[in-house]
Structure 1
Amino acid sequence: MKVEIVEIVDQKGLKKFVDFQWQMYPDHSPWVPPLRKTIFDALDQEKNPFYKHAKLQAFMAYQGKRPVGRIAAIIDDRNNDLHEENVVFFGFFESVDDQDVCDALLDAVRSWGLNRNADSLRGPASPSSNHEFGLLIKGFDLSPRVMMSYNHRYYMTLLEQAGLKKEKDLYAWDISTDIGFTERIGRVAERQKKRHNILVRSVNLSQFDREVRIMMEVYNSAWEKNWSFVPMDKSEFNHMAKDLKDVIMPELCMIAEVDREPIAFALALPNINQALKKIRSGRLTPFNLLKLLWYLKGPFRKNTITEGRILTLGVKREYQNLAIGSLLYMEFLKRGPALGLRLGEASWILEDNTEMNNSIKGMNGTLTREYRIYQQDLSIQS
């Protein structure tokens, strides 16, 4: 059947774009429904500060009156200026198992990008590498952790049949907080801190703005030379921090200092997806809000939220020879059990970050999920 592509131009269309994801995954799926408000926020070009340097166009695919797919085209001027490239990203991709639908969606992104001088296609990025990034290619029987993506197994085939090639794989590791192991890890961490005069402290939520500023400075310095990295400015970092503030456990958000100078930080979150999975609609009604708060803050939280995710970690470049990244992972393992966390996910880690991958293996880490970034040259199509 013929595929019709429709540009999303108003709130009514945007609602259909967001709602489509719920049509793609049955209740028994490992997929965890996000809060709809977070998806609307990620697409809001008026209020989300990411769009001060980026633009997005959403599309939906129809066969007759039936919605069969969605995608967004994104151009991030900051990324293209920093890396001296002309990339159009695709993100928020969902499709039925039909190559014609996938091809039509990607053609819409390619055409939109070529009209804006793009010469390559990359993704998925929803909407950037600082947000949900990569297509799941391993771990389909497992639910995603907080702020990680999930998709159908056949998406990989659709994208590759459409001519996209692997650019980079991203790893997600599970690390157990088994008490016997964490006691040994804790002793190693203490020796390392004493040797280099390192203080690891929890963030002070009463000084939240100051702590966010410290983390932003370390983050942008630490990741400066990394593949795909695009620095966040103050408004973007504050926007993301504000969204996370209500779920942050101070013990899991750590800043490392030497002589009171911040040199590294790690941000880990409780895996709120374990609670969100119980709110299938994704709508934050008053009842669902109470339900979510019960799971996150109630007396039985430790029975509901048993996992964490170390979602970002940064060490200033001049201190990266001290293995402080490994130290902060060890701190997470040491602190986790008291908070009811039996497992931590370290993600995402670049496939060619050999030092960090080997370090996590040394902590009995298990590679459980893999994600892929795809690329296609558009210069031959222009």
Structure 2
Amino acid sequence: MDTIQTPSVSATTTVVRGSAPVIEQVSTKQQMKLFIDFPHDLYSNDPLYVPELFIAQRDLLTPGKHPFHEHSELQLFLALRDKKVVGRIAAINNRNHNAFNGTNDGFFGFFECIPDLTVSNALFDAAAEWLKKQGLSTIIGPVNFSTNETCGLLIEGFDSSPVVMMTYNPPYYIELIKAAEMTVNVTLIAWQVTAEAVEDKPLRMMQMLENRLAQRNIVIRKINLKKFDEEVVKIREVYNKAWDKNFGFVPMTDNEFAYLAKDLKLIMDPDLCIVAEKEGQIIGFSLCIPDLNKVLIKVRRGRLLPTGLFKILLGKSKIKGVRVIALGVLEPFRKLGVEAVFYGRVIKEGRRKGINVAEASWILEQNDLMNSAIQAVNGVPYKRYRIYEKAI
């Protein structure tokens, strides 16, 4: 079996209906390799595409490698035509999500497909059938495990590459989703803030707010990498409490959070990772990471060898873009100015380091509080994503 070479995907790509593909469940290492590598061929002529690291994707999808598999299941599918891969999808039974939310949801993720409705419909049908056999009643996606990982179908903002840990797809995927009769579940926004446009108000207010917070014994500081493991435990507790009412939220297990933290530590800039602490307990945090995609876009087919690792090591220090990946405060401490100090610290450190652009993502379209706060520093909503659903 070989992957198929496809023409450059673009806004003008025509969706067709071809012959029925063969759908195979992924069960071998060779099939797994084909599953992971298919996007590299699908986007081979797309200059905005950023390849995922092969080793990271393999571990993410392999039971025994990633802690998601300790509590939930998934099944990967390949679509083949003339023995060549033309599409892929994952059907996901996230047991922790359903237990926490009291739902009976199934998910699809890792969806990639040529512009062919026959292929996409066959993939969605295969995923839905597997989920039904698991006793689930809804298919929701694209969600790559949960909202704790990458999720959402890009619907606006096709003129730039995705930032680190954000999804990317060609415009014709919207048509493929609609043809599968899925409806919109939720819309997500990615905001862009540039160094030239950013509002100075948070900087002017920052010291005053920090002094006021100090009177409440609340201290704002950067993360302590020398006590990283201790910090991670405290931050996990905040994450699982501060985000518990968000759309699709599912608490991360100890192992899942530790796995993510270990990966983030490799690229983390401690000056841009800030916590709010009261009497030794972390009550809020802001996590901002360098946009590693600026380097990964140059790593051919996501391989670290023979040159990929050197490109990452050499390029990491030159990155001038960041992503604000999380910013949250425990409910009793909200609206005291902690969030504003976080914004001020990020702006101040970003300027000192020569950062010229930041993305704040993702934020629910109906989250007026967060969207207004970013708009107040002259942020622009430059990409939108959607998650869809359908009863099965």
Q: TM-score, normalised by structure 2?
A: 0.92
- The aligned residue for residue 166 of structure 1 is 184
Give yes or no for the alignment of 1:288 onto 2:308: yes
CA distance in 1, matches of 2:340, 2:190: 15
- 1:20 pairs, out of 20, 38, 63, with 38
Is contact 2:275-2:285 (8 Å) kept?
Answer: yes
Once residues 224 and 118 of structure 2 are traced to their aligned partners in structure 1, the CA distance between those partners, rounded to angstroms, is: 52
Partner of 1:186: 203
Partner Cα separation in structure 2 for residue 181 and residue 347 of structure 1: 16
Among 295, 311, 315, the alignment partner of 2:325 is 311
CA distance, structure 1, for counterparts of residue 353 and residue 45 of structure 2 = 29
More helix by share: 1
1:117-196 matches, within 5 Å, as 117-178=135-196, 181=198, 183-196=200-213
Distance 1:27 1:3 in 2: 24
Residue matched to 2:16: none
CA contact (8 A) 2:54 2:303 kept: yes
What is the rounded CA distance, in whole Å, between the counterparts of 1:155 and 1:241 in structure 2?
Answer: 32
User: Paired residue for 2:12?
Assistant: none
Compared with structure 1, are the counterparts of its residues 293 and 182 closer, same or farther at alpha carbon in structure 2 (3 Å cutoff)?
farther
Partner of 1:325: 339
* Pair 1:359 & 2:370 matched: no
Structure 2 runs not aligned, ≥5 long: 1-18
Q: Which residue of 1 aligns with 2:265?
A: 245
Say if 1:59 and 1:72, in contact at 8 Å, map to a contact too: yes
Q: Deviations over 1:143-180 (max 9, x none)?
A: 000000100101011111111000000110011234x9
Match in the other structure for 2:7: none
Is 1:377 the counterpart of 2:386 in the alignment? no
State whether residues 283 and 330 of structure 2, in contact with CA within 8 Å, keep that contact through their aligned partners in structure 1.
yes
In the other structure, the counterpart of 1:10 is: 28
For the Cα contact (< 8 Å) 1:308–1:341, is it kept in 2? yes
Deviation at 1:183, TM superposition (A): 4.8
The residue number in structure 2 matching 1:368 is 382
Q: Compared with structure 1, are the counterparts of its residues 323 and 356 closer, same or farther at alpha carbon in structure 2 (3 Å cutoff)?
A: farther
Matched residues, number: 371
Of residues 344, 350, 361 in structure 2, which corresponds to 1:347? 361
Aligned-pair CA distance for 1:105: 0.1
Over residues 177-215 of structure 1, what are the superposed CA-to-partner deviations in whole Å (9 max), with x where a residue is unaligned? Answer: 34x956543121222222222422111111110111111
- 2:198–2:379: 8 Å Cα contact kept in structure 1? no
Q: Relative to structure 1, is the Cα distance of residues 287 and 26 closer, same or farther in structure 2, using a 3 angstrom cutoff?
A: closer
> Counterparts of 1:75-94 in structure 2 under 5 Å?
75-94=93-112
- Aligned counterparts of 2:165 and 2:98: Cα–Cα separation in 1: 24
Indicate conservation of the 8 Å contact 1:31/1:143, yes or no: yes
Q: Is the 8 A contact 1:32 1:143 kept in 2?
A: yes
Mapped to 1, the partners of 2:189 and 2:128 lie a distance apart of 28
What amino acid does structure 2 have at the position aligned with 1:206? K
CA RMSD of aligned residues (A): 1.4
Q: Does the CA-based 8 Å contact 1:92-1:127 persist in structure 2?
A: no
**Partner of 2:133 in structure 1?**
115
> Which runs of 5 or more residues in structure 1 are unaligned?
none
Post-superposition shift, 1:33?
A: 1.1
Give the deviation of 1:356 after TM superposition.
0.6
Deviation of 1:286 (Å): 4.5
**1:37-89 superposed Cα distances (whole Å, 9 cap, x missing partner):** 12112201112111111101000101121211000000011101111111110
Tell me the equivalent position of 1:74. 92
CA–CA distance in structure 2, aligned partners of residues 123 and 323 of structure 1: 35
Find the aligned partners of 1:314 and 1:51 in 2 and give their Cα distance: 27
